[in-house]
Every structure is written in structure tokens, then in C-alpha cells.
């Protein structure tokens, strides 16, 4: 090699290339350590014998995100029901239920329950639950009777009288009757005798 103007041109060119390679290797190692080892993550630019590194900032493009909107549906207001009385004497027993206020109520899922007046007193009896007919509507202001006993349980169904069973349900010594919504909400109860 020959010197030109006091320099070794090949050594200068090799030294510059080596510096560039070492700089690129350093950039690659740094990008790898940061988890950005992609071609788009950095772009080396050479300006005036120096290496300048610029990184591209990813452009965030807004995307439509579906966020479901929950619109509460109006909860139907339940009828206000009241148990007026329980007739427990004789072959025709009944519980009287009055619709005090609110909308006409489809009685599907509604129940009347009797309690055991034995020992321990006044425990609900799972075997003594009346389920209203699925198509029965109790209109505002109506009064109905749910019948049990040998005579009452054999009565025909009418708009104001519903047969339950021919068994005697209501204990003479004392009992409790509940009326519950399909969700099990107690709307009213009636207690007499030993269940008080």
C-alpha cells in the first residue's frame, strides 16, 4: 500500500467500515436487550462520517372497540297481595288472598305455603305448597280463595276459587300461610293459634 497525503487509504477505509460495523452490532445488541429487534424498530443513518440512530415511533391507529351497552329493562312491579284470612274448620278449608294494588298479576310461579304446627312449631312444610295455575291472572281488586279439604279441594276452578287438594292442610291448633312470588319473595303471611 502506498501512502497518500500521509495516510494509508485502505487502513482508513477499513477502520471506518469497522467502526460502522461495531456501531451496528452495538445497536443490534441494545435493540435485542430491549425487545425491539425488528427492522422497523431502528434505522441507522450515516451523516458526515458519523452514525446517527433514529427509531421509528409506531403510529397508533385508533380502532373501533365494541363496548356493549347494558340497558336495564324495566322490572315489572309486583302486585300487592294480602292474606285476609284462613278458614281451617270443616271439610272446606280455604285461604283468602286479596289483590290490593298494582298491575294485574299473572300468577305463574307464585305459591301459597302451609306450616307445620307440631314439634318444633311452625316450620314450613315442603309437601304443603300450592302452585298457582300458570295461566291464572289475579286482577287488581280481586279476592280469591284457594280451597283444600275433602269438599273444598274437589270444587271446580273459577275466577275466584281455586282447588288445591282434598287433604286437610290448615291445622286447627294453629298454622301459618305464606304467599310468595316466583322469586321466593314473601309478600304476606297469616298466622293463627299456636304458630303466633
Q: pLDDT, tens digit, for every residue of 150-160?
A: 999 999 999 99
117 close to 128: Cβ distance less than 8 angstroms: no
Domain range 80-193, CATH architecture: Sandwich (2.60)
Phi, psi of 146, rounded to the nearest 5 degrees: -105, 120
Over residues 4-30, mean pLDDT: 59
Q: Which residue has the higher pLDDT, 44 or 105?
A: 105
Q: Which residue has the higher pLDDT, 178 or 66?
A: 178
The position carrying cell 269438599 is: 151
**Ranges for all domains in the chain classified under CATH 2.60.40.1260:** 80-193
pTM, full prediction? 0.60
112, three cell numbers: 301459597
Give 89-114 pLDDT, tens digit per residue: 999 999 999 999 989 999 999 999 99
Amino acid at each position: 500500500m502506498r501512502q497518500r497525503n500521509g495516510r494509508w487509504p485502505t487502513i482508513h477505509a477499513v477502520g471506518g467500515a469497522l467502526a460502522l460495523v461495531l456501531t451496528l452490532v452495538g445497536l443490534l445488541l441494545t435493540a435485542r436487550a430491549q425487545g425491539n429487534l425488528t427492522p422497523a424498530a431502528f434505522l441507522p443513518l450515516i451523516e458526515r462520517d458519523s452514525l446517527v440512530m433514529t427509531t421509528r415511533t409506531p403510529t397508533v391507529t385508533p380502532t373501533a372497540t365494541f363496548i356493549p351497552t347494558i340497558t336495564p329493562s324495566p322490572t315489572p312491579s309486583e302486585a300487592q297481595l294480602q292474606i285476609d284470612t284462613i278458614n281451617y274448620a270443616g271439610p272446606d278449608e280455604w285461604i283468602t288472598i286479596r289483590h290490593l294494588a298494582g298491575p294485574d298479576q299473572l300468577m305463574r310461579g307464585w305459591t301459597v305455603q302451609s306450616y307445620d304446627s307440631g314439634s318444633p312449631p311452625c316450620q314450613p312444610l315442603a309437601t304443603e305448597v300450592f302452585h298457582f295455575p300458570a295461566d291464572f291472572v289475579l286482577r287488581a281488586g280481586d279476592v280469591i280463595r284457594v280451597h283444600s279439604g275433602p269438599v273444598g279441594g274437589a270444587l271446580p276452578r273459577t275466577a275466584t276459587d281455586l282447588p288445591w287438594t282434598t287433604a286437610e292442610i290448615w291445622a286447627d291448633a294453629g298454622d301459618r300461610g305464606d304467599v310468595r312470588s316466583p322469586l321466593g319473595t314473601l309478600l304476606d303471611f297469616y298466622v293463627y293459634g299456636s304458630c303466633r
